Amino acid sequence: MSCFSGLFTQKPLAMSVSDAIGQTPLVQLKRSLPAGAEGVTVLAKLEMQNPGGSVKDRIAKSMIEKAEADGTISPDRTTVVEYTSGNTGIGLAMLCAAKGYKCIVVMPQLPPMKERYVTVRKFGADVHLTCGAKGVVGMKEYTEKLVASDPAKYWCPQQFENQANPDIHFSTTGPEIFAQAGGKVDYFISGVGTGGTVVGTGKFLKSKNPDVKVIAVEPTESRVLVGQPHTKHAIVGIGPGVTNSFIEQLAPGAEWKEGARGIIDEFLHASTAESGAWADTLAKTEGLLVGPSTGAVMKVASEVAARPEAKGKTIVVMFPSSGIRYMSHPSNGPVNAEAAEALPAPPNMDPEPLFRWNSADKKA
């Protein structure tokens, strides 16, 4: 059989970028697993393979197309506005460009937002920056005031409350994982930003097998879903510091504390430092360039894989986005400093010497 035989059995021709969203690869991890994980299968769902580069493309499509179907929005009269740590904003900006909508993305004014800012602007959307110290609360306040100033013009998808968020994961992400894993999924691990991914995907997998263990991951510094205080962290995309409606709905009115909540069996965590270290490990051992939120879920997956009860089981881990989106993140500080030294501005254009730099020398 030709090594190219499988290339022509993939997704059909996409009539728009919206049609290219989903059906991302599920890849088995091997070299990054700890010594105690022998006999455990760990599979990574590579959501960076969506056209906008993250899992948030799914909810951007779902929220916009549901609002279009309801007659709530149309390109001739609507400006889409959303507050976000970046990935949802990029997905919305991409789809708005493809569909002809004006778009405003509200983000915190923080240096790690650089790649997200540039990407949103390249899609033609505007960026409004709010006080970084006020976090998601400040972004929400600003966005609500903007939308209220002209409700006929501005529309906010409200990713933290819009049921189209978890619904798209129930109808697409969960079925994809189940089919790709051949129906064998024993654990599903996902970080929590809005909570839509873990709730929607988890509900589908539980509907197929009630014994699937669903694990939600927060930053160690911001475990609000188990009743602990929010403090500063640098795991962009998860741990916004507020509880969210999708997880609240799993047990309405219940106390936020350790233990199971609805379909979520455990709330585990990783620190900023651990997340950065695991992102480096995945790049250097699996060839997977990922960001800190992926590092966080992988840290938790490595611990779960080392449990005695995980032997012979299959763990599916959600990898939400590519590390290319985090080059300005503090976790990449050393290599950014090295690159600045290696590639000075202006460059030295003298013809001699020919050889100028060897990155291996920096490892000494």
Query: Which residues are part of the catalytic machinery?
Result: 56, 293
Of the candidates 190, 191, 165, the residue with the CA atom closest to the CA atom of residue 245? 165
Q: Where is 245: in which H helix or E strand?
A: helix 245-248
Q: Mention every residue, 6+ apart, whose C-beta is less than 8 A from residue 280.
A: 295, 331
Q: Mention every residue, 6+ apart, whose C-beta is less than 8 A from residue 275.
A: 219, 235, 292, 293, 295, 296, 299, 331
Cβ atoms < 10 Å from Cβ of 7: 8
Give the burial string for 172-192 (b: 16+ CB within 10 Å, else e): bbbbbbbebbeeebbbbbbbb
Q: Where is 315: in which H helix or E strand?
A: strand 314-319
Report H helices in 4-53.
none
CA distance 362 to 350: 23
Cβ atoms < 10 Å from Cβ of 293: 31
